[in-house]
Every structure is written in structure tokens, then in C-alpha cells.
Amino acid sequence: MNRGGFLPIAVVLAALACVPLVVHSDVVLNFLVTALLLTLAGQGWNVLGGYGGQYSFGHAAFFGTGAYATAILQTRYGLNAWPAFALGIAAGAAMGAAIGALTFPSRLRGSYFALVTLAFAEVFRILASVAPVTGAGVGILIKLDPGIHALQFSSRAVSYWFILSLVAAALVVTRLIEGSRFGAWLVAVREGEAAAQALGVDPTRVKLAAMTVSAAFTAAAGCFYVQYFLFIDAPIAYGPWISVEALLASIIGGVGTVFGPLLGALMVKTLGEAAKLITGDAPGLDLMLYGLVLILVVGIAPRGVAGIGVRCREWLARRHIRTGGSTA
Amino acid sequence: MQLSILFPAVVNGILNGALYALVALGLTLVYGVLHIINFAHGALLTAALFAAFYLHRIFGLDPYIALLVLTPAFFLVGYALQRVVIGPLSHGDDSNILLVTLGLAVIIENGLLFAFRGDTRTVDLPYSFAVVPFAGMFISVPRLVGFGGAVAVAALLWLLLTLTDTGKAIRAVAKEKLGAQLSGIDVPHIYALTFGLGAACVAVAACLLIPTYYVNPHVGNAFVLVAFTTVVLGGMGSIPGALIGGLFVGLIESLCGLYLGESLGQIGIFLMFILVLLFRPSGLLGARA
């Protein structure tokens, strides 16, 4: 992969930032906001799953914790939305650290790790659907109070720029991790835990750190969800949909790449919209398509859409060498 | 807590547990041989429940007779899924298998949701509410049949694995894939066969469940984590472990439901699941890893 450079990130972000200047349709902007929300959640999954090789099936645990923390701090404790948002991210990160601290030392890997993360998300879903503090089955409504002080934007464009700035932060942090010593350790753990350990890397600590960062990203998506839709309940916060979509965005886009989740999220959401156009309100078809795409990507392009580009480049390079060799 | 409340809860828990055990049997068999967790197991159960429901609705077929049709049908479905979809598309990589079975689960579950909507359906049978008196309480007849069926299937599977050549081949592949291949065993065939057997277990479980249970597109989810818990408790890949684990999980759920209220009954299962995974991942009965 081409590492190091921040230029591609700057170019992509600048292009995305210009979109609301050209497009004024609320429908399109709303679509892009949900795609960016998924990008953020997916980037979280990517840090742990893509770079660290730990496939979580329960990132809803972090999304939901961020969302509920933001909502509860505002409605129950009267906290301003901005600190509530920040504390929501912190709560999600703490949840990631806690689950990581429980699972990694007992050497849960592969399907066991996937299972136990799924179980954690389900436990929280059931708890949130009965506990009074989360509004039980009713959920939590945030009082409508448009304005920058309450972190509620009546203009879609401003919401869009806000989530774009969060995505920008996630992209930059991911790129920084990729180029850092920590990133190298993380990839080493993915490629071979025993070998990494033999070279002096502490796999448990590396995975724990990755899970904390990963959870923080996904929690930020949850916090934004609450501020954007002003509502949260247990099936949204801790339901399997977000776990699946976050995983899907990274895998379709390309695991372990900076732009993978962004690409994947745009494709996943486009696919979902297309399914809705075809069938109207009938539920299920969009997710069915997601499942199909997941299987096809795994089967045909295991490195995702970003991987196809890499493969083409490799193929061209090989061809170049071969033709170069024949003329020499 | 009075004994007159506790005792029925224990009996009900064990009767439910037998069906958990049956679902878990299929999962544990697949894990034991392919060393993968089949995330599509719950979705297959949902599909089987729908099949049993519609066989009764359209053809008036009694679920216990539908069992004779659905079991071989699901065996073939399972065989084909492994042979045509999971095997070729996962390129032999464990995390890919994980994702492919997850994808299959999402497709099956949402396909059913798309086709039949989210409504919950139940089958009306003359014997749905039949009971027999037992030690001062009443026991549901279909649940008793379910219990017997689960034990019978476990016994049959065990006989198949210990007495037949196919069973020997399955055990050989489970123990040492390469060695089995070198001695002339067709490994992809055995993989698919095992997957088929797992799906067949699910079909039996569905036919035994439907008289007293309901069906909707998400019903498999309720079972799948329970089945995972059962399998982990009993030790991955162990058939007696799945049976005992299932009964135990049923008991825990029933008692948690009794003491904590219906909606929290499942919490007990999940917490137990997480605790076992964290502290004894080889299972309560399994050999130390």
C-alpha cells in the first residue's frame, strides 16, 4: 500500500467538503450524512479488524454506549451537548478497553473473539431494553433545540460538515497509526501473534490499545447518531445492524486500508438505497443484498474494492517488468 | 422460593434444554470437524421453522410427519451450501469462513423477512396444549416428545459416528485432516456431509419445536446464541457435551426467568456464556486445551 502521505486524504476531504456548495438537495445530503456516519463506525472496525486482524461481530456495543452516554448525560443530567458528545466518545473507548481487557488476556481469537463480542452487544441490548435509565422499551428523545450550542444543526449542510470533520479526524488518526511503530506492531500481531511476540511485541497490549481507538471511532458515530436523529432506543443502539454494517463497510471497501471504510460505506449505502427504490418499504431486501455482496467480496475480491486497485497496479507492474525484460 | 414453583420451572427448563441441545448438536458437529463456527446455524433453524409452518399451512402436514421430509431436504441443503458456497468462496481461510457464514445468515434471515414480513406465526395443532399430569404438575406433551426426539437424535448421531465407516471418516477428518486425505478420504465430501448433518439436526429441532413455539424471521437469533453457549459449555465438538450443556442452559434460563423476570431470563445465558469463554474456553466438560 502507498503509506505515509496525507495528501490523498486532504484531496478527498476537500472534494467532499465542497459537495454541499454544489448539491442542495436534502435527500442527497441526508444520504451522504448516513454514509459518513457508517464510514466513521466502519473505520473503527477497520482499526481493530483490518489492521489488527481481530474480527469483531459486536461493534454495536461501542456505538450504543456512545449514543446512550450522549443522550443520558443530556436528558438526565442536563449536561451541554458538546461535553456530552466528548464524554460519549470516552465512554465508548472505556467500554472497548474494558471488553478488550476481559477478552484478550484469555487469548480469545478468531471465531471465539467474534462470538464473545457478539454476546457482549446482545447483553447490552437486552439490558438497555429493560433498564429505566435507558428509557427501557421507549428509548430516549433529545429535546429539539436547534443551534450550535446544543450541537443540533437545522441545516443539513452543517450536519454534513460536522460528521465530515469527525471522519477527517478518523482518517488522519488511522493514517498516523499506519505509519507509526504501533501500526507496525498491530499488523505484526495480525500476521502472526507468536512471531510478533518472539520479536518483543506484547500482543495483548497492542490489541487492547487498538480496541480502545477502534471503540472510540465507533462510539463517535453513535454520539453523532443521537445528535442527528435526536432519538435512540435499544434495537438501534445495540442491535446487530450496526455491527454488520461497520464490518461490511470495511470489508467491501478493503480491510486494513485508510480509505476502505469510506469507499465501502458509500457502496453499502448506495446499495441500500437502490434496494429501497426497487421494493419500496418492504424490509429485508437491502440487508439481503449486503449479505450477498459480503459473500461475493470475500469469495472474489478478498482485499475489497481498494484491493482491486492494488491488484491492478501489481498486475501492471508485473506486466511492465515482463515487457521490460523481453526487450532487454 | 416454594418447591411447588421451583419444581415445574426445573422440569420446563430441562424440556426446553433438550431442544437447545438438539440445535447445539448440529453446531458442535460442524465445529468438531470443520473447526469453524457456523454463524448461519440460527438462520437455517428459522428457515426450517418456516418450512415446517408452511408444510402444515398449505399441505396440512403434521410437523412430526414433516420431519421425515424436512430432515433429508435440509441435509441436502446443508451439503450443497458447504460444497458450493462456503467451501469454494472461503479459500480455506478461517476468517473468510466466518464472514461467509455470517453473510449467509444475513441473506437467509432477511430473505425470509422480505418474503414473509416480520409477523409472528404459530401452528394450531390439536395436541399443542395437551398435557400429562406428573408428580403434582402438568407437563406439555409436545415438549415431552421434543425431549425424547432430542435424546434419540443424539443417540443416532453417536451411533453413526462410532459404528459406520462414514462416521469413522468424519472422525478421522476431525482429528487429522491431512492424514485422512492421504489415506484416501475425500475431505471436501466429508466436510459437506458434516455440514449436511448439522443442517439436518436443525430441521429435526424445527419440527419438534413448532407445535409449542412460534416462528418469525428473527426467531433463530434467540436460539443461536443459546446454541453457541451450549456448545461452548459442553466443550466444542463434543456430542455428550452438547446434550448436557443444552439441558444445563435450559435450566439456567428457566431459573433466571423465575427469579429475575421473563425478559432477563436470557441475560443469565449470555453472562454464563461470556464467563465460560473467558475463564474456561475449552468448556466445562471439554479437555483442557
How many angstroms from the chain centroid is the CA of residue A209? 16
The H or E element spanning position B131 is strand B131-134
Nearest-neighbour CA in chain A from B127: distance (Å) = 33
Which amino acid makes up residue B94? D
Query: Does A163 reside within a domain?
Result: yes
Nearest-neighbour CA in chain A from B175: distance (Å) = 19
Q: What angle do CA B272, B276, B280 make, to 5 degrees?
A: 165
pLDDT band at A94 (very low <50, low <70, confident <90, very high): very high
- Each residue's pLDDT tens digit, B72-125: 999 999 999 999 998 888 887 778 888 899 899 989 988 998 888 878 888 888
Taking Cα atoms as reference points, which of A286, A32, A282 lies closest to residue A156? A32
State which residue of chain B sits closest to A296, comparing Cα positions.
Answer: B89
CB contact under 8 A, B100 and A291: no
Q: By CB neighbour count within 10 A (0-12 exposed, 13-18 middle, 19+ buried), where does B141 fall?
A: middle
State which residue of chain B sits closest to A100, comparing Cα positions.
Answer: B278
pLDDT band at A1 (very low <50, low <70, confident <90, very high): very low
pLDDT score of A193 more than 60:
yes
The pTM score is 0.85
CB contact under 8 A, A126 and B102: no
Q: In angstroms, what CA-CA distances link B285 with A233, B109, B174, B176, B243?
A: 39, 32, 19, 22, 11
Q: Radius of gyration over alpha carbons of chain A, in Å?
A: 20
Cell 395437551 -> residue: B130
pLDDT, position B282: 67
Domain of A188 in residue numbering reads as 8-239
**CA–CA separation, A256 vs A246, rounded Å?**
13
pLDDT, position A5: 79
Count CB-CB contacts under 10 A for residue B278.
Answer: 14
The per-residue DSSP string of B22-68 comes to HHHHHHHHHHHHH----TTHHHHHHHHHHHHHHHHHHH---HHHHHH
B100: nearest CB among A53, A240, A295? A295
Query: Does A282 reside within a domain?
Result: no
Nearest-neighbour CA in chain A from B194: distance (Å) = 19
Name chain B contacts of A279, Cβ cutoff 8 Å.
Answer: 114
State which residue of chain B sits closest to A303, comparing Cα positions.
Answer: B96
**ipTM of model:** 0.82
Count CB-CB contacts under 10 A for residue A267.
Answer: 19
A108: nearest CB among B90, B96, B277? B277
pLDDT score of A2 more than 60:
no
Taking Cα atoms as reference points, which of A123, A128, A143 lies closest to residue A226? A143
Lowest-confidence region among A50-54, A261-265, A283-287, B54-58:
A283-287
**CA–CA separation, A308 vs B271, rounded Å?**
42
3-state secondary structure of A109: coil
Q: In angstroms, what CA-CA distances link A265 with A61, A217, A305?
A: 19, 15, 11
Query: Does A302 reside within a domain?
Result: no
| Cell, residue B207 | 419440527
Taking Cα atoms as reference points, which of B235, B216, B223, B173 lies closest to residue B22? B223
Ranges of chain B whose pLDDT falls below 50? 287-289
Query: Does A189 reside within a domain?
Result: yes
Name chain A contacts of B281, Cβ cutoff 8 Å.
Answer: 106-108, 112
Across the range A150-165, mean pLDDT stands at 91
Domain total for chain A? 1
Name chain A contacts of B99, Cβ cutoff 8 Å.
Answer: 55, 247, 251, 294-295, 298
Name chain B contacts of A240, Cβ cutoff 8 Å.
Answer: 221
CB contact under 8 A, A294 and B274: no
Query: Does A259 reside within a domain?
Result: no
| Cell, residue A178 | 499506519
3-state secondary structure of B118: coil
Name chain B contacts of A294, Cβ cutoff 8 Å.
Answer: 99-100, 102-103, 106
DSSP percent split of chain B into helix, strand, coil, nearest 5: 75, 5, 20
**CA–CA separation, B269 vs B229, rounded Å?**
7
Taking Cα atoms as reference points, which of A244, A197, A232, A237 lies closest to residue A49? A244
pLDDT, position A85: 96
The per-residue DSSP string of B178-223 comes to HHHHHTT--HHHHHHHHHHHHHHHHHHHHHHHTTTSEE-TTHHHHH
A291: nearest CB among B107, B115, B232? B107
Which amino acid makes up residue A267? M
pLDDT, position A91: 97
Number of H helices, E strands in chain A: 14, 2
Q: Does B222 touch chain A (CB under 8 A)?
A: no
pLDDT, position B43: 92
CB contact under 8 A, B278 and A57: no
Query: Does A29 reside within a domain?
Result: yes
pLDDT, position B262: 67
pLDDT score of A244 more than 70:
yes
Lowest-confidence region among A110-124, A293-307, B192-206, B238-252:
A293-307
**CA–CA separation, B85 vs B129, rounded Å?**
41
Question: Which DSSP symbol is given to B238?
Answer: -
Question: Which DSSP symbol is given to B83?
Answer: I
**CA–CA separation, B253 vs A166, rounded Å?**
42
Question: Which DSSP symbol is given to A132?
Answer: G
Name chain A contacts of B268, Cβ cutoff 8 Å.
Answer: none
Name chain A contacts of B271, Cβ cutoff 8 Å.
Answer: 123
